[in-house]
Amino acid sequence: MTVPEQRVPIAPPTTSRRRVLTGLVATAAVGLGVPAVAQGKSIRIGTTFDNSSVEKANGQGLYQGSSAFFNALNKSGGINGTKVDLVMADDTFKPDVAKANALAFEKDSAVLALLHPLGTRQTSEVMDAVPGMAVVGPITGTVSLRKKTSPNTFWVRVNYDQEVDKLVSTAAVLGQSRIGLVHSNDPLGQSVLAAFKAALAKAKLEPTVIATTPNTTSMEVGPAAEAIAKAKPQVIIIGLAGTAPVFMKALRDAGGNSSAYGLSITASALAAMGDLARGLGFVIVVPSSYSTKFEIVRRYQADMVANGTKDFSLTSLEGYMNAAVLAEGLRRAGGSPTRASVLAGMASIENFDLGGVKINYGRTNREGGQFVDVAVIGSRRQMLS
């Protein structure tokens, strides 16, 4: 059953927020002629994600970031004077529910696009269910999805091939040649496995150990942890998301002392890991949420604070950036946007500076972002890039 839609609460304007959302909203700053947001008229954006199950930390973080962006956007005049409502539905991380949510959004003609569906199978269902709507910023790096003919889907994050290649090359630079992998035995895991084998071949290395868990949500991680502890790789790449904390505990309990590198989807589980996160390296597909050398991070932090929180995270920054990319597509869609004009507007985004991060689509390209880096959790559980 689809959970009823929920609107993002729009916070009242504050006099301290008189600034431009450069390149993301119309052109003038508050106090310099930004049009008032039209009353009784809005652009609706749908989003379906896990808000109550194993991936709820990811889902809630994404929603927090995208909500902060759209609240700030509306305070600054909306899109051509029209406010944007972000409407969410909880899919409990179930692909069939994600599809049902997408189809429900499709029936509402005011919903012009969908934002950051979460999960590989969930994204696959959503992008196929609504071919006439733009689907922006899916939270998965599975390469097979990007090879599908899906001109409605606009990727902002890099793919898992790029993530795993970054981790393997980082390990190799550090002199770590005995590298293992744990992955889920499902479409997500198979994508990670293929990327792992390709990255090792590129580095002229052989895998030390490959272990699997039954699926993305399974807590049955003991056998995988024991196999890895026995093989004693120098580093283990964790191709898991919400189950990563359980795996890390099982690995340490089994006597495994390998260094651990996680994919970007592991970042949402850092808080749940506690002290187990110390020394963990992982891919980041957006800048550090504290790296204020990036203009996009400075805007994000200001808008999050204005939205009532100083709890900055990679996940909420990714949600914020996805919303910013969609807003640029909406702006290019014209004064009376339709689903078709939003698709055209998104496709026209080329060499767009998001604030230190470039997004580049085009007539046929749908993989817009190229940012990828590795960060490490320090002794005080601070992220060191």
Q: Tens digits of per-residue pLDDT, 55-105?
A: 898 899 999 999 999 999 999 999 989 999 999 999 999 999 999 999 999
pLDDT score at 346: 98
Residue 380 lies in a domain: no
On whether both 106 and 246 belong to a single domain, the answer is: no
On whether both 133 and 11 belong to a single domain, the answer is: yes
The range of the structural domain enclosing residue 209 comes to: 160-284
Residue 95 lies in a domain: yes
Quote the longest CA-to-CA distance of the chain.
67
pLDDT score at 37: 57
**Backbone phi and psi for residue 316, each to the nearest 5 degrees, phi listed first:** -70, -35
- As for how many domains the chain has, the answer is 2
Pairwise CA distance, residues 74 & 76, whole Å: 5
**CB–CB of 92/50 below 8 Å?**
yes
For 159, which DSSP code? Answer: P
**Backbone phi and psi for residue 39, each to the nearest 5 degrees, phi listed first:** -80, 140
Which of these three, 261, 284, 307, is where a domain ends? Answer: 284
Q: Which residue has the tokens 């991380």?
A: 93
Amino acid identity of residue 327, one-letter, is A
Residue 49 lies in a domain: yes
pTM: 0.82
Pairwise CA distance, residues 332 & 330, whole Å: 5
On whether both 313 and 185 belong to a single domain, the answer is: no
Q: pLDDT means per 10 residues in the chain (385 residues)?
A: 38 33 34 47 96 90 97 96 97 97 97 96 97 97 91 96 95 95 92 94 96 93 97 96 91 96 83 86 94 98 97 95 98 96 98 97 93 82 48
β-pairing, 383-384 vs 373-377, is antiparallel
Residue 128 lies in a domain: yes
**CB–CB of 181/207 below 8 Å?**
yes
Question: Measured on CA atoms in the order 165, 170, 174, 178, is the torsion positive or negative?
Answer: negative
On whether both 25 and 153 belong to a single domain, the answer is: yes
Residue 385 lies in a domain: no
**CB–CB of 34/28 below 8 Å?**
yes
CA-only gyration radius of the chain, Å: 21
Beta pairing partners, 111 = 44
Pairwise CA distance, residues 132 & 139, whole Å: 20
Q: In what helix (H) or strand (E) does residue 99 lie, and over which residues does it extend?
A: helix 95-107
Residue 377 lies in a domain: no
On whether both 103 and 246 belong to a single domain, the answer is: no
On whether both 112 and 12 belong to a single domain, the answer is: yes
pLDDT score at 226: 98
Residue 58 lies in a domain: yes
On whether both 146 and 15 belong to a single domain, the answer is: yes
Which of these three, 284, 319, 350, is where a domain ends? Answer: 284
On whether both 34 and 136 belong to a single domain, the answer is: yes
On whether both 212 and 277 belong to a single domain, the answer is: yes
**Measured between alpha carbons, how far is residue 5 from residues 72, 129, 385 in Å?**
21, 18, 38
pLDDT score at 381: 45
pLDDT score at 60: 95
pLDDT score at 39: 56
Residue 374 lies in a domain: no
CATH classification at residue 184: 3.40.50.2300
On whether both 314 and 239 belong to a single domain, the answer is: no
On whether both 206 and 70 belong to a single domain, the answer is: no
Pairwise CA distance, residues 297 & 301, whole Å: 6
pLDDT score at 18: 29
Beta pairing partners, 114 = 46, 135
Which of these three, 223, 253, 284, is where a domain ends? Answer: 284
On whether both 250 and 121 belong to a single domain, the answer is: no
